[in-house]
Every structure is written in C-alpha cells, then in structure tokens.
Amino acid sequence: MTTRRVVVIAIIVAIIIAPITVLAADLAHGFFGGVDVVSTDPDRTAMGVRGTEDALGTFKATHEPSAQGATDPSAAVISTRSESDGANGSASGPTATQAWFHDYPDGAASGTKIINLRVHEPGLSYSTEVFRLQATPTPEDPARVTLYVNGPIVTPEPDGP
C-alpha cells in the first residue's frame, strides 16, 4: 500500500471516528455528569419546556441525597443567578434582571395558586400549605391577590440577620 493511500484512509477514518467519539463523550457527560444549556443569542429563550399535563407539573426538579443519610443543607432544588456583564464583583454594577417572571396572558381565575409552598411532615399522609399566593380577583380589582401564611410571620430584629 502506498503512503498516499494510507494517508487518505487515515483521513477518512478520522473524519468518521472523530464525530462519533465527540458524540459519545457528550452523551456520557449529558447522562452522567450534568447538562449545561448555554445560549449567546440575546433574542431567544435559551431553553423552553412545554407540556399539556392535567394534574402534574410541566417541569419538575427533584433533589436526591448526595449520599446515604445525607441531608445536604447547602443544596438547592432550583438555584437561579442573575449576572451583570461584569459578573463576580467587577466595576460594571448590578443587574436589573427579574429573578422570577410568570405571566397569565388571559388573567388568573379566582382560586389560582400562583405560588404554593407545602411541607410534608414525617408520619402524616398529607402536606401542609405553609405559604400561598392566590388569585382572588373581583370585578373592581381583577388583578387582586391574597397571601396566605400558615404560621407566624417573623421579622428580624433591627440588628439581627
């Protein structure tokens, strides 16, 4: 076999094998090491999720203990962060990004739970609502909401945390 033929075969093999190797590495990272969605297009949503569930969440994030018996007090099920163009304390200043935005384009029906936080107590067969922001529109005030809190609202002392 001539050197030229060997080089051509090596190039063809490299062209075929390299993408497969990269794909396998990406799949292994995606399934076993986490998935990062990164967008540099300021005019489009980086990731969208759409569903038609009847009694389930369209998007559900679940945290599982990092080890047997671990309580993971520093972990968060959902963690969000808004960075300015000079992230991590540079001179560019703060951002005005909204932390959480939810829209009801056709209005929220009376009784719609806009935010509903529940806690499941060990030994009970149900969860207790501890915080609920609920739509309670009236003809005079169609955007009216009511905040329900199960338990005391505690404010920190002036010199406290």
Report which of residues 86 and 77 the model is more confident about. Answer: 77
Residue 8 pLDDT greater than 60, yes or no: no
Q: How are beta strands 127-135 and 145-149 bridged, if at all?
A: antiparallel
Q: For 92-113, what is the mean pLDDT? A: 81
Which pLDDT does position 83 carry in this prediction?
Answer: 77
Q: What is the mean pLDDT of residues 14-21?
A: 55
Is the pTM here over 0.75, yes or no? no
Query: Per-domain residue ranges for the chain?
Result: 1-32, 107-154
Amino acid making up residue 140: E
Cα–Cα distance measured from residue 119 to residue 149, given in angstroms and rounded to the nearest whole number: 12
The region of weakest confidence among 15-24, 37-46, 89-98, 106-115 is 15-24
- H/E element, 146: strand 145-149
Q: What is the pLDDT of residue 71?
A: 92
pLDDT at 70 over 90: yes
Q: Which SS3 state, helix, strand or coil, does residue 59 take?
A: coil
Name the average pLDDT for the chain: 78
**Tokens 């505690």 appear where?**
154
pLDDT value, residue 72: 93
Output the six-digit token pair for 17. 């094998």
